[in-house]
């Protein structure tokens, strides 16, 4: 098989070209994520509700259902949603232009056929609009090409984020996809408590936000943009933000502190056009973490005691 071209690996993702699909897909992923939320155990910082990048799209991973289990996966190659049970049963829903309400009904009908009974919160989170899923006929776009492009960007970001994650041996999140904010993220923790978060995230209970940010963090992510900030970008923020963080010098030169988002931003287009996109992302990730952790006086030495020889030894054991 021929090697993928640069354009295939790092495709263009102009928000204006797929804004309606982006909005619809975010709501579809919220329906699936809320199924995991309803049935799985709660894990600190909402880690038990996220989705994960796969070789074909995004998955819930295994969801427990009494003594049974099932998984739901978005396939952005064949453009299907698959519900697979541990008993070997499967249902497939075609991903195509259809309203959020129709998608919701199709998912729930197929779950009932598989003898899975679940109820979810019917309003979306972290969006300015909060039309109940079963009444949302407004959002109904699905551009196959751009859904696939979005997944391909997530595939590369997931790979590079995992490399960055490997450099840290303190408490660190998985690399996972948050369906509320519609971004891929990995978060490092200092081990110290943080002041209560002010909350105020649209259509998200303040108690959830405060639990998520109950500890001091430095977070790295990728986000495709929205109507307020219509630019795909990599981001990095600290909570609480230490004094001087916004003025810190970070790399590469195209990175900047976004006053609206209150975090450092690196435009995706700058990454995809770089000679080495991996190097640029890792440079951004490391320099913003350096700024956050140094200004906040983290015990960096305790978190960076990496022993590279262990990886090599494990591979040959």
**Domain spans in the chain, listed from the N-terminal domain onward:** 14-135, 155-303
* Ramachandran class of 79: left when φ > 0, alpha when ψ lies in -120 to 50, beta otherwise: left
* Average pLDDT of adjacent 10-residue blocks, the chain of 317 residues: 75 98 98 98 97 98 98 98 98 98 98 98 95 98 98 98 96 98 98 96 96 98 97 98 98 97 98 97 98 97 71 60
Mean pLDDT of the chain: 95
Instruction: Output the pLDDT for position 9.
Output: 95
Q: Tokens for 191?
A: 């081990």
Separation CA 146–CA 289 (nearest Å): 31
∠ CA 57-127-43 to the nearest 5 degrees? 60
Return all residues near 123 (Cβ < 8 A) that are at least 6 apart: 130, 131, 132, 133, 203
Structure tokens at 209: 């936000």
Backbone angles phi, psi at 101, to 5 degrees: -60, -45
Predicted confidence at residue 122, as pLDDT, reads 98
pLDDT of res. 303: 92
Q: Give backbone dihedrals phi and psi of 92, rounded to 5 degrees, phi first.
A: -130, 130
The phi, psi pair for 277, rounded to 5°, reads -55, -40
Looking at beta carbons, which pairs linking 73-82 to residues 24 or more positions away fall under 8 Å? Answer: 74/28, 74/29, 74/32, 74/151, 76/147, 76/148, 76/150, 76/151, 77/148, 79/142, 79/144, 79/147, 79/148, 81/28, 81/32, 81/107
The per-residue pLDDT for 215 is 98
Q: Output the pLDDT for position 5.
A: 86
CA distance linking residue 147 with residue 82, whole number of Å:
16
DSSP string, 62-126: -EEETTEEEEEEEETTTTEEEEEETTS-EEEEE-SS--HHHHHHHHHHHHHHTT-------S-SS
Query: ω before 149 within 30° of 0 (cis)?
Result: no
Nearest to 263 by CA among 279, 283, 284, 282: 284
Q: What are phi and psi of 186, to 5 degrees?
A: -140, 135
Per-residue DSSP letter, 48: G
Residue-wise pLDDT tens digits, 145-195: 999 999 999 999 999 999 999 999 999 999 999 999 999 999 999 999 999
| pLDDT in the model for residue 1 | 35
């Amino acid at each position: 098989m021929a090697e993928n071209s640069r354009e295939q690996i790092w495709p263009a993702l102009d928000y204006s070209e797929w804004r309606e699909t982006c909005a619809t897909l975010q709501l579809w992923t919220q329906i699936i994520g809320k199924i995991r939320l309803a049935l799985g155990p709660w894990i600190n910082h909402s880690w038990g509700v996220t989705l994960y990048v796969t070789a074909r799209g995004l998955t819930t991973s295994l969801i427990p259902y009494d003594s049974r289990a099932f998984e739901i996966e978005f396939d952005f190659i064949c453009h299907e949603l698959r519900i697979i049970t541990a008993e070997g049963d499967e249902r497939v829903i075609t991903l195509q232009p259809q309203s959020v309400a129709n998608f919701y009904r199709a998912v729930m009908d197929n779950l009932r056929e598989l003898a899975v009974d679940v109820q979810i919160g019917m309003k979306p989170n972290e969006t300015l609009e909060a039309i109940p899923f079963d009444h949302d006929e407004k959002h109904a776009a699905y551009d196959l090409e751009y859904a696939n492009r979005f997944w391909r960007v997530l595939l590369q970001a997931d790979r590079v984020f995992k490399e960055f994650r490997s450099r840290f041996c303190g408490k660190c999140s998985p690399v996972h996809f948050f369906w509320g904010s519609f971004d891929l993220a990995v978060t490092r923790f200092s081990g110290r408590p943080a002041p209560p978060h002010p909350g105020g995230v649209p259509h998200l209970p303040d108690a959830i936000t405060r639990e998520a940010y109950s500890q001091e963090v430095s977070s790295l992510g990728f986000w495709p943009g929205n109507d307020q900030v219509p630019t795909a970008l990599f981001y990095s923020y600290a909570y609480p933000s230490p004094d001087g963080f916004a003025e810190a010098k970070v790399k590469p030169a195209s990175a900047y502190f976004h006053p609206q988002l209150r975090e450092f931003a690196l435009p995706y287009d700058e990454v995809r056009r770089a000679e080495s996109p991996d190097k640029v992302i890792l440079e951004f990730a490391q320099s913003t973490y350096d700024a956050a952790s140094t200004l906040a006086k983290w015990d960096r030495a305790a978190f960076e005691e990496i022993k590279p020889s262990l990886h090599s030894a494990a591979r040959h054991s």
